[in-house]
Amino acid sequence: MSFWQFLQLNWSELLLLVRQHVVLVFSAILIAVIIGVPTGILLTRHRALRGPVLGIANVMQTIPSLALFGFLIPLPFIGGIGARTALVALVLYSLLPIIRNTVTGILGVEPSVREAAVAMGMTDGQVLRQVELPLAMGVIVTGIRVATVIAVGVTTIAAAVGAGGLGVYIFRGLRQYDNNLLLAGALSAALLALAADFFLGLLEGQFSFETKRGSVLPKVALAAAVLLVVVGGIALWRGGDAPKSAGQARVSVGSKDFTESALLAEIVAQMLEARGVSVERRFELGGNLPHDAMVSGTLDLYPEYTGTSYTAILHHAPTGDPRAVYDQVKQEYASKFNVEVSPPLGFENTFAILVRGEEARRLNLKTISDAAPHATRWQAGFGQDFMSRADGYPGFSKTYGLKFAEVREMDLSLTYIALSSRQVDLIAGNSTEGRIATLDLFQLADDRHYFPPYEAVYLVRQDSVTRVPALREVLSKLANAISTEEMRRLNYEIDGNKRDSKEVVREWLSGRGL
Amino acid sequence: MPQEGTKDSLVQFHNVNYSLPTAANIISDLNLTVERGETLVLLGESGCGKTTTLKLVNRLLTPSAGEVQVEGKATTEWDPIALRRRIGYVIQEGGLFPHFTIARNVGLVPALSGWDQARTTERVRELLSLVGLDPGRFAERYPRELSGGQRQRVGVARALAADPPLLLLDEPFGALDPLTRASLQREFADLTSRLGKTAILVTHDVREALILARRIGLMHKGQLLLLETPERFLASDHPQARAYIDTLKVSDGGAQ
């Protein structure tokens, strides 16, 4: 599919994402200005506060955005998942340039001009409003401009906490190795940043009193800025107008940030909708976000794997018996989190240790133990998740005595392509990944049974099941409904054939009479 | 102990000291009376305390010891805003607000004092004409569109706007070229005598002092050394005064 065709097919979704993006950036900047400018003014009046406050704002900006989102998620009121968290993080990022430029702008006003103002008999407030602020405005707008451009960039990452925006396309594009998605997301974000920069630049010119001659440009800039504010305001107002009928038949369905998880979530979402339940989709949340969100009550349900719950959430040492793991998880989730575990869906998604098929045939490799002697010549590529979790790399390399020439930590979805294009020689993928067959990758058998069973299940809050009885019916219908082969095929429909997940799910459900 | 000023004195310094915690005395034991209607010129090199003296009058600074009285009342007892609106203030390059038009610069104090629009506009026209600027040409321009001399005229007009009894001028003609400076000095002397304004003017230019002053106060290292009419200043045998007068002779000799 060409990029142009992609745009024609997806323009309405793209516009929605652009709107979410603009609303986030606009609201964040608005709040940051409301907080930042008065703070900056205060700092010009109280020299002693200047160091500490600017220092704190500075530190805020050095925190990597994903880490900042991570800190915010468990916090009450300002945290959780969704636009609110993203907004808080964006405001924190935007404060520094705005506060700093307000201080610089005001302190940069010619001392003789300020002195003249005081000597004319202006009160403090008059000096501030009539002299200092107007003269500092150019510098303040520069700060707002810098903050806005930064915010447009950071907002792409906000998709990881379920806030929407163009990051949704970028993350999805990375995951599915889909250049059209990547390009549409990144290009739109870049255009937004350029547009914001351009218009705020024109506005900034409006305030340079030393060089301005009577020209129409500032009026155009002012008009454009006003238009931007109005459009942003309308978008904001309409954005806040989303259906909020928190009736009893409303369910918030989450998913992790990979295709299969989003697909499983979409299956439940469509089945619930078919039963008249309104569904809020909070898909593609990073790391253990869905768990935190469910425990805190923001999510009602999301798909999970028993092995992940067992090791990453409950912190047990990996073990091989599927039944024991399922029972243990079910019992502990009920007592610790008031969360129910659905019957298994019928397939496992375990880590698949993959090498190139051609390499496996040449060296006659069948199991991971077969491959161990070759590891010293190999580069391995692992996702961040695999590197860090209890049942991941450290135990894995120890169990098989693996010593790689080099281990690269990279985005999971990129590892498949890295392997087939010989950038790396061994990866830890997902066993249900559709590209295993299409890229001619070979799965080495886990002959020492290191990886715990990862049966797919849904986790659902107990109070949600009580509130929405349709949930229990849907989950029982899905018991043993999906085989590993079927899951692999569904994944490939989306990742390989680039089809829309809603459509794939709709087709599958009707084919199965669900 | 506040002393009873003479009826005709507008500003009085009584044993005024001004110092900063980090520096030695900037003003030491200053006693000075400015009579109504006179132009008093404070003459001295940079750092002698003449600008500080000026700022003590409109309470941009307050004395560390002693008292400055304006119209018989200590500056510390004045509401600073009310005090400043009764004192016109002109600084080098005018200190105009770059984001205000000329009209708005000149009409600032009337506007702050709550004059209505028509009266302010009329006053601005009158003042611009008074300082030799055509209101039709200049009112709607911005300071950056004017020459240094024109800006200085606007500065004077702004200081006169609310018809204050007292003008403070800090090196008002310092940044101008010699020809413009000379003509502005003449016009200013003419203007103050016509309007009967009291003025305290600070300069390091002894020629300017001689042209404009009714009395010259010679300052050096925070002290007032001498306070004389121009004629008696020229005849003084005080060494500091002689040094200034000698520069005058050298440059005159060079010019001839």
The mean pLDDT of A173-180, rounded to a whole number, is: 74
Instruction: Number of A to B CB contacts under 8 A, please give it.
Output: 58
The mean pLDDT of A257-277, rounded to a whole number, is: 90
Chain A stretch 235-264, residues whose beta carbon is closer than 8 A to a beta carbon of chain B: none
Model ipTM value: 0.88
- Same domain for A214 and A202, yes or no, is yes
- Same domain for A344 and A355, yes or no, is no
The alpha carbon of B244 is separated from its chain's Cα centroid by a whole number of angstroms, namely 21
B95 contacts A112? CB cut-off 8 A: yes
Beta-carbon-side half-sphere exposure of residue A210 (alpha carbons within 13 Å): 6
Instruction: Out of A79-83, A107-111, A158-162, B141-145, pick the least confident.
Output: A79-83
CATH label of the domain that carries residue A430: 3.40.190.120
- Same domain for A142 and A158, yes or no, is yes
Q: How far apart are CA B169 and CA B156, in angstroms?
A: 9
Q: Is residue A245 part of a domain?
A: no
Does residue A436 or residue A144 have the better pLDDT?
A: A144
CATH label of the domain that carries residue A147: 1.10.3720.10
Minimum distance, in Å, between the CA of residue B84 and any CA atom of chain A: 5
Residues of B in contact with A116 (CB under 8 A): 89, 91, 95-97
Q: What's the DSSP call for residue A514?
A: -
Nearest to B112 among A122, A210, A211 (CB): A122
Cβ neighbours of residue A162 under 8 Å, at least 6 residues apart?
Answer: A81, A82, A254, A282, A283, A284, A285, A289, A293
Nearest to B99 among A119, A122, A209 (CB): A209
- The residue among A318, A486, A295, A495 whose CA lies nearest residue A414 is A495
Q: How far apart are CA B72 and CA A458, in angstroms?
A: 88
Q: How far apart are CA A354 and CA A383, in angstroms?
A: 13
Beta carbons of A514 and A477 less than 8 angstroms apart: yes
- Same domain for A166 and A297, yes or no, is no
A121 contacts B95? CB cut-off 8 A: no
Of all residues in chain A, what percent carry a pLDDT higher than 70?
90
- Same domain for A172 and A95, yes or no, is yes
B87 contacts A119? CB cut-off 8 A: yes
Average pLDDT value for chain B: 88
* pLDDT of A485 above 70: yes
Beta bridge partners of B67: B14
- Same domain for A167 and A37, yes or no, is yes
A210 contacts B98? CB cut-off 8 A: yes
Q: Dihedrals φ, ψ of B82, to 5°?
A: -65, -40
pLDDT confidence bin for A210, thresholds 50/70/90: low
- Same domain for A73 and A183, yes or no, is yes
Minimum distance, in Å, between the CA of residue A253 and any CA atom of chain B: 56
Quote the pLDDT of residue A498. Answer: 81
Average pLDDT value for chain A: 85
Quote the pLDDT of residue A127. Answer: 93
- What domain range includes position A17? 3-239
Minimum distance, in Å, between the CA of residue A132 and any CA atom of chain B: 10
Quote the pLDDT of residue B83. Answer: 93
Minimum distance, in Å, between the CA of residue B81 and any CA atom of chain A: 5
Last residue of a domain, one of A444, A470, A498: A444
A210 contacts B93? CB cut-off 8 A: no
In order, the DSSP letters of A213-265 are -S-SHHHHHHHHHHHHHHHHHHHHHHHTTS-----SSEEEEEEESSHHHHHHH
Instruction: Out of A237-246, A264-273, B54-63, pick the least confident.
Output: A237-246
- The residue among A111, A179, A108, A159 whose CA lies nearest residue A138 is A108
Quote the pLDDT of residue B17. Answer: 92
- Same domain for A385 and A469, yes or no, is no
Cβ neighbours of residue A12 under 8 Å, at least 6 residues apart?
Answer: none
Nearest to A123 among B81, B91, B142 (CB): B81
Residues of B in contact with A121 (CB under 8 A): 80-85, 109, 112
Give, in order, the Cα–Cα distances in Å from A280 to each of A150, A157, A399, A475.
Answer: 29, 21, 42, 17
* pLDDT of A177 above 80: no
B140 touches chain A (CB under 8 A): no
Q: Is residue A233 part of a domain?
A: yes
Quote the pLDDT of residue A258. Answer: 82
In order, the DSSP letters of B37-73 are T-EEEEE--TTSSHHHHHHHHTTSS--SEEEEEETTE
- The residue among A255, A462, A211, A200 whose CA lies nearest residue B143 is A211
B112 contacts A119? CB cut-off 8 A: no
Structure tokens at A141: 């707008």
- Same domain for A486 and A357, yes or no, is no
Q: Is residue A466 part of a domain?
A: yes
The mean pLDDT of B83-93, rounded to a whole number, is: 89
Structure tokens at A182: 């990547």
Beta carbons of A152 and A94 less than 8 angstroms apart: no
Tens digit of pLDDT for each residue in B12-60? 999 999 988 877 778 889 999 999 989 999 999 888 889 999 999 999 9
Beta bridge partners of B226: B218
| Strand residues in chain B grouped as ranges (E) | 9-19, 25-35, 39-43, 65-70, 73-74, 87-91, 166-170, 198-203, 215-220, 223-228
A117 contacts B99? CB cut-off 8 A: no
Residues of B in contact with A106 (CB under 8 A): none
B58 contacts A119? CB cut-off 8 A: yes
Best of A109, A114, A120 to disrupt the B interface by mutation (most B CBs within 10 Å)?
A120
pLDDT confidence bin for A5, thresholds 50/70/90: confident
Quote the pLDDT of residue A226. Answer: 65
B158 touches chain A (CB under 8 A): yes
Q: Is residue A244 part of a domain?
A: no
Beta carbons of A151 and A25 less than 8 angstroms apart: yes
- The residue among B59, B65, B56, B70 whose CA lies nearest residue B5 is B70
Task: Give the chain B residue whose CA is nearest to the CA of A207.
Answer: B99
A135 contacts B99? CB cut-off 8 A: yes
Give, in order, the Cα–Cα distances in Å from A178 to each of A1, A17, A38, A423, A440.
Answer: 10, 17, 45, 19, 19
A116 contacts B97? CB cut-off 8 A: yes
- The residue among A349, A348, A351, A350 whose CA lies nearest residue A428 is A351
Quote the pLDDT of residue A133. Answer: 93
Quote the pLDDT of residue A219. Answer: 59
B87 contacts A120? CB cut-off 8 A: no
A485 touches chain B (CB under 8 A): no
Residues of A in contact with B58 (CB under 8 A): 119
A115 contacts B91? CB cut-off 8 A: yes
Q: How far apart are CA A147 and CA B28, in angstroms?
A: 51
Task: Give the chain A residue whose CA is nearest to the CA of B81.
Answer: A121
pLDDT confidence bin for B250, thresholds 50/70/90: low
The alpha carbon torsion through A12, A13, A14, A19 (nearest 10 deg) reads 90
DSSP-derived 3-state class of residue B22:
coil
Cβ neighbours of residue A236 under 8 Å, at least 6 residues apart?
Answer: A23, A26, A27
B142 contacts A134? CB cut-off 8 A: no
Last residue of a domain, one of A416, A444, A472: A444
Please provide the distance, in angstroms rounded to a whole number, between the alpha carbons at the two ends of chain B: 53
- Same domain for A59 and A175, yes or no, is yes
Q: What's the DSSP call for residue A82?
A: S
Quote the pLDDT of residue A217. Answer: 53
| Strand residues in A449-494 grouped as ranges (E) | 456-461
B93 touches chain A (CB under 8 A): yes
CATH label of the domain that carries residue A498: 3.40.190.10
B98 touches chain A (CB under 8 A): yes
* pLDDT of B8 above 90: no
Q: How far apart are CA B47 and CA A417, in angstroms?
A: 75
The alpha carbon torsion through B138, B139, B144, B147 (nearest 10 deg) reads 30
Nearest to B95 among A113, A122, A212 (CB): A113
Q: How far apart are CA B4 and CA A487, in angstroms?
A: 102
The alpha carbon torsion through A329, A334, A336, A337 (nearest 10 deg) reads 100
The mean pLDDT of A69-74, rounded to a whole number, is: 72
Q: Is residue A134 part of a domain?
A: yes
Nearest to A120 among B84, B93, B98 (CB): B84
- Same domain for A100 and A136, yes or no, is yes
Helices (H) and strands (E) in chain B, counts: 11, 10
Q: Is residue A295 part of a domain?
A: yes
Beta bridge partners of A254: A282
A116 contacts B96? CB cut-off 8 A: yes
* pLDDT of A179 above 50: yes
Chain B stretch 103-132, residues whose beta carbon is closer than 8 A to a beta carbon of chain A: 108-109, 112
Instruction: Out of A142-146, A217-221, B213-217, pick the least confident.
Output: A217-221
B151 touches chain A (CB under 8 A): no
Tens digit of pLDDT for each residue in A391-413? 788 889 989 999 999 888 777 77
Please provide the distance, in angstroms rounded to a whole number, between the alpha carbons at the two ends of chain A: 31
Task: Give the chain B residue whose CA is nearest to the CA of A136.
Answer: B99
Quote the pLDDT of residue A356. Answer: 94
Last residue of a domain, one of A239, A260, A293: A239
Nearest to B144 among A118, A123, A210 (CB): A210
pLDDT confidence bin for A24, thresholds 50/70/90: very high
The mean pLDDT of A360-368, rounded to a whole number, is: 93
Minimum distance, in Å, between the CA of residue A11 and any CA atom of chain B: 45
A106 touches chain B (CB under 8 A): no
The mean pLDDT of A334-362, rounded to a whole number, is: 91
Q: What's the DSSP call for residue B75?
A: G
Quote the pLDDT of residue A223. Answer: 65
If one counts the domains in chain A, the total is 3
The alpha carbon of A472 is separated from its chain's Cα centroid by a whole number of angstroms, namely 29
With b for 16 or more beta-carbon neighbours within 10 A and e for fewer, the A232-250 pattern comes to beebbeebeeeeeeeeeeb
How many residues make up chain B in this entry?
256
Q: Is residue A85 part of a domain?
A: yes
Structure tokens at A28: 């964040």
- Same domain for A334 and A375, yes or no, is no
In order, the DSSP letters of A287-348 are TTHHHHHHHTTS-SEEEEEHHHIIIIIT-PPP-S-HHHHHHHHHHHHHHHH-EEEPPP-S-B
A124 touches chain B (CB under 8 A): no
Nearest to B89 among A119, A126, A211 (CB): A119
Q: Is residue A190 part of a domain?
A: yes
- Looking up tokens 């599958």 gives A508
With b for 16 or more beta-carbon neighbours within 10 A and e for fewer, the B18-53 pattern comes to beeeeeebbbbebebbbebbbbbbbbbeeebbbbbb
Helices (H) and strands (E) in chain A, counts: 24, 10
Cβ neighbours of residue A410 under 8 Å, at least 6 residues apart?
Answer: A381, A382, A383, A384, A418
Q: What's the DSSP call for residue A165?
A: S
Structure tokens at A283: 């898909």
* pLDDT of A385 above 50: yes
B108 contacts A120? CB cut-off 8 A: yes
- The residue among A415, A421, A286, A261 whose CA lies nearest residue A353 is A415
Nearest to A119 among B60, B82, B144 (CB): B60
- The residue among B21, B15, B59, B29 whose CA lies nearest residue B168 is B59
* pLDDT of A244 above 50: no
Cβ neighbours of residue A297 under 8 Å, at least 6 residues apart?
Answer: A461
Q: Dihedrals φ, ψ of A209, to 5°?
A: -80, -15
Q: How far apart are CA A13 and CA A169, in angstroms?
A: 10
Task: Give the chain B residue whose CA is nearest to the CA of A131.
Answer: B97
The alpha carbon torsion through B81, B84, B90, B93 (nearest 10 deg) reads -10
Give me the amino acid identity at B199. A
- pTM of structure: 0.69
B95 contacts A134? CB cut-off 8 A: no
Task: Give the chain B residue whose CA is nearest to the CA of A135.
Answer: B99
- Looking up tokens 């409003």 gives A129
Tens digit of pLDDT for each residue in B129-173? 988 899 999 999 999 999 888 998 899 899 989 889 999 999 988
Does residue A258 or residue B69 have the better pLDDT?
A: B69
B59 touches chain A (CB under 8 A): no
